[in-house]
Amino acid sequence: MSGSPTSTPPPLRRGLGWRFGSTAVMATVGAACRGFLYAFNTVEVTGLQNLLGVLDMRKTQGKNRGLLTVCNHLAVLDDPLIWGILPMRYAFDVENLRWSLAAHDICFKNALTSTFFNLGQTLPTHRSWHSELGGLYQPTMTQALGLLSGPSSIPRIANPTYSTNGRDVIPAPAFYTANRNAWVHVFPEACCHQSADSSLRYFKWGVSRLILESDPAPEFVPMFVDGTQNIMPEDRGFPRFLPRVGNRIRVAIGEPADSEVLFGAYRQRWRRLRESQSEEQLRHGPEAVQLRVELAKAVRDEISKMRATLGLPKEEDETAALAETWDKEPNKRRFKSPVDGSLVNRH
């Protein structure tokens, strides 16, 4: 009598050709960013060892949980430019480098750019301002959760590709075991925000979902960057595509924290909701929505602490952390915000 059928385990990693291409893209871009930062600007990094220590430990001791880094967003080149702070020895180890979320309408316009950004470990993301396909539950968020979570955790990714709109075919990185418990980086402001004092906008709820639903809870490293707004200022003239040089770039990196400890109360509330509410209520119910709002603000508070380490003025308006404060902004791609006078680019 034959035994019960078993499902085939997912492959450990993608083929050699893809891994070679990804290494070439990541290392080349990393070298270019590091060269530009340090050759043409003044760079000051505090807490770099906080991040390098985590990466070294994940390399030598294995990845037993994901890594989530969170940062403010000042300019269109923030990613990949800020990763020029990493020594070049890290640029060739793609399984220990970040995954990020990139704008579908910009970075995935055609087969060439899609291949480049897929090799560069970015996930195509629809923004609600641009597309009705955006939001917390788009397929790319499932991939991001899979990358942050362990190989035996939910979500279980059953196919090596997925689609964001029913037409495109995107490689599914979370399908491969070696890509689980990965490093994911997010900019929760979800747009370039250039103000005189490098203040923060409200944080969107996607970061809340990543923290609440990843399993196990990821390691959390807060970051703050200042000065990249002068490399690609939103009011720059011709030639707009060229980055400006001669700037002072400051990056502050906080100490790593276990999200289960730092945000444990929120995760506990989420577990209770999962036990008592339907899938629809978990997506749109008032308790789930309020939980995401509160957690997004808590994450923003951690980034605000990093901002304070750079000596920037204290935030006076606490309502800046609330989404409704920014509702009065115009329905445009680029504009000067009536809330704080900042230059905004929903690139």
pLDDT at 347: 73
Question: What average pLDDT score do residues 7-33 get?
Answer: 94
Give the confidence band of 9 by pLDDT, cuts at 50, 70, 90.
confident
pLDDT at 8: 75
For the chain, give the mean pLDDT: 94
pLDDT at 7: 64
Measured in whole angstroms, how far is the alpha carbon of residue 308 from the centre of its chain? 21
Question: CA-to-CA distance for 170 and 274, rounded, in angstroms?
Answer: 30
- CA angle (311 as vertex; 190, 188 as ends), nearest 5: 10
Rg, C-alpha atoms of the chain = 20
**Residues making up the chain, counted from first to last:** 347
Contacts of 134 by beta carbon, 8 Å cutoff, 6+ apart: 125, 126, 127, 128
3-state secondary structure (DSSP) of residue 240: coil
> Contact, 303 vs 202, CB < 8 A?
no
Phi-psi region of 135 (alpha: psi -120 to 50; beta: other; left: phi over 0): left
pLDDT at 131: 87
- CA angle (13 as vertex; 123, 173 as ends), nearest 5: 15
pLDDT at 2: 40
Measured in whole angstroms, how far is the alpha carbon of residue 274 from the centre of its chain? 25
pTM, to two decimals: 0.95
Phi-psi region of 121 (alpha: psi -120 to 50; beta: other; left: phi over 0): left
Is the pLDDT at 57 greater than 60? The verdict is: yes
Measure the CA dihedral 178/180/185/191, to 10°.
110
Give the confidence band of 128 by pLDDT, cuts at 50, 70, 90.
confident
pLDDT digits (tens, 9 = 90+) for 172-205: 999 999 999 999 999 999 999 999 999 999 999 9
Question: CA-to-CA distance for 65 and 54, rounded, in angstroms?
Answer: 11
Residue 287: count of CB within 10 angstroms of its CB: 15
DSSP lists the bridge partners of residue 70 as 186, 222
pLDDT digits (tens, 9 = 90+) for 114-127: 999 999 999 999 98
Question: CA-to-CA distance for 234 and 245, rounded, in angstroms?
Answer: 15
